[in-house]
Amino acid sequence: MARAATPAIAALVAAGAPHTVVQYPHDPRVESFGEEAVAALADREGVQPGQILKTLVVAMPSGLGVAVLPVPSKLSLKAAAAALGAPKATMADPAAAQRSSGYVVGGISPLGQRKPLPTVVDSSALQWDRVLCSAGKRGWDVSLSPQDLVRLTNAVTADICA
């Protein structure tokens, strides 16, 4: 059996979760990775911008956590902290996010992270049959059911958009 290309894909395969890997050309000059994904994937096979999710690592007094929300939306740090049971949250240092997740910024997947973190998925994800999130590499997304995303990340769901 071939080795999965990323830990995120390996986690999906190991769980038997139906998924599709979707690739697009990543421009190394681009710094807004989520917007690049939306530009490449929205309207492709009927995908809407709200179905494409970004993975943000947040720092809380108790440690790091993960917030997964639609790319076009802005994260409410207060709502994310509340959902994760913390008094407050700030954006994590990118180097800390990379060390903890095992992925590079712009390719951080909520799936298959080196160290599983408390995770919250914005409840809007549940309105879709499928959502897309990073597959663990820049220019790679994975399409899966939002229920599988929540289950495989042990996430809670909450309204975390500002």
Per-domain residue ranges for the chain? Answer: 7-158
Q: What is the mean pLDDT of residues 49-63?
A: 96
**Pair type for strands 156-158 and 140-144:** unpaired
Superfamily of domain 7-158: YbaK/aminoacyl-tRNA synthetase-associated domain (3.90.960.10)
Tokens representing residue 59 in the block: 């720092």
Distances from the Cα of 113 to the Cα of 12, 13, 45, 57, 158, angstroms: 12, 15, 28, 11, 21
> Of 11-25, 32-46, 69-83, 112-126, which range is least confident?
32-46
Residue appearing with tokens 């060390």: 99
Quick one: average pLDDT of 122-146?
96
The model's pTM is 0.95
For the cut 50, the answer to whether the pLDDT of residue 125 exceeds it is yes
Confidence of residue 55 (pLDDT cuts 50, 70, 90): very high
Residue 19, pLDDT above cutoff 80: yes
What whole-number distance in Å separates Cα of residue 60 and Cα of residue 80?
A: 10
Cα dist from 68 to 34, 56, 135, whole Å:
12, 6, 13
Give the count of alpha carbons within 13 A of 91, CB side only: 9
pLDDT exceeds 60 at position 2: no
Across 97-112, average pLDDT: 95
Sign of the C-alpha dihedral, residues 81, 86, 90, 93? negative
| pLDDT of the residue at 4 | 65
- Residue 121's φ and ψ, nearest 5 degrees, are -110, 130
